[in-house]
Structure 1
């Protein structure tokens, strides 16, 4: 009976894409606002530049949208879509402490892979777009303040969530070392007969591995 119900669900999803979308996205409203505010900020930038709106008006509109996007991503969509959150507090001595949190174990299963992909891709793509817009403002430096603020806010969020995902700076460095080592190893082992490692090469690789990842 359970198998029949499963097959029926698959048939319904094939004829009604909205059913499949509702299963992919656990937080559709969060996804909407995550994309809406950052999209509106970019659209407002283009509209204000094309309409020759005064700089003060353009600055106020775009900065408000950027601030709404920054706050929403940092406090809501990062937690719901990617299971990540960073925040800070000031202790009694006046010291500022930053906390980077991520869902662990069974809690990770509550994060949708589709939503997580949208979250990360939108963060990276938005930064690349604002970098491109910053380059174009070099010919018209009036708006470089706006693009600079946009880059600062978006890069801050990206850095904070990377810290949440990978932990400390040392762990981020270890992840980068692992990636580089795997890339070099695949080139050595996949380059044909002339690239077959000798015993000396194997010892060097073993030594490098112990150096990078511990004894």
Structure 2
């Protein structure tokens, strides 16, 4: 697997939005993208929870949930990620059959700055909803409701794929993740050493 990054170093880390982008407006500039970013994923969760109450037909509920999950995957990957946070990822297979993960981010000095409200909506929806699908997977296993297992696994995989892609896009890939971890631990060790020398 080959990873390619384009301008990913210009994208701020999760806690850096306020520090690096104070000039951004907090208004929601893409209300339609923000709405559909949350609509499809929450609708799939609600249909799954309320399926036995609203309809006893398993096939109709399953097809509805899969359609909502597919619409959510496509919307988040192709529309809301680009508009709300200026990030984009995709996978392509080259002529040799190698899978290449491509990550792209909008430059921070771009004319279209990212709204902090839209960024919060995007990351909140992207991180909270997969937790529900993890809970659903365990609940179907422990309740022996095996007929739903394929649906909840599909929900988990589709939502986890978008979360994984955007997190990798935001932090710049595995090498940057390792560098961030090394820098964090070296800073902590340095602080601890300074405490010990200052206290002695």
TM-score for both structures, normalised by structure 2: 0.76
The SS at the match of 2:110 is helix
Partner of 2:12: none
Partner of 1:148: 153
Question: Whole-Å Cα distance in 1 between the matches of residues 61 and 121 of structure 2?
Answer: 28
Partner of 1:45: 48
Question: Whole-Å Cα distance in 1 between the matches of residues 127 and 99 of structure 2?
Answer: 28
Which of structures 1 and 2 has the bigger CA Rg? 1
| Residues 51, 61 of structure 2: 8 Å contact kept | yes
Residues 136-157 of structure 1, C-alpha deviation per residue, up to 9 Å, x if partnerless? 1121222121111111011100
Residues 29-59 of structure 1, C-alpha deviation per residue, up to 9 Å, x if partnerless? 1101111111110111112133462332221
Question: Whole-Å Cα distance in 2 between the matches of residues 133 and 56 of structure 1?
Answer: 18
Structure 2's unaligned 5+ residue stretches are 1-24
Partner of 1:99: 102
Task: Decide whether aligned partners of structure 1 residues 45 and 184 sit closer, same or farther in structure 2, where only a CA change above 3 A counts.
Answer: farther
- RMSD value, Cα: 2.6
Moved more, 103-112 or 81-90: 103-112
| Residues 134, 147 of structure 1: 8 Å contact kept | yes
| Residues 83, 108 of structure 1: 8 Å contact kept | no
Number of residue pairs matched by the alignment: 173
The answer to which structure has the higher helix fraction is 1
Task: Decide whether aligned partners of structure 1 residues 181 and 59 sit closer, same or farther in structure 2, where only a CA change above 3 A counts.
Answer: farther
Structure 1's unaligned 5+ residue stretches are 1-21, 190-194, 202-215
| Residues 26, 116 of structure 2: 8 Å contact kept | no
Q: Which has the higher contact order (CA 8 A, sep 6+)?
A: 2
| Residues 55, 61 of structure 2: 8 Å contact kept | no
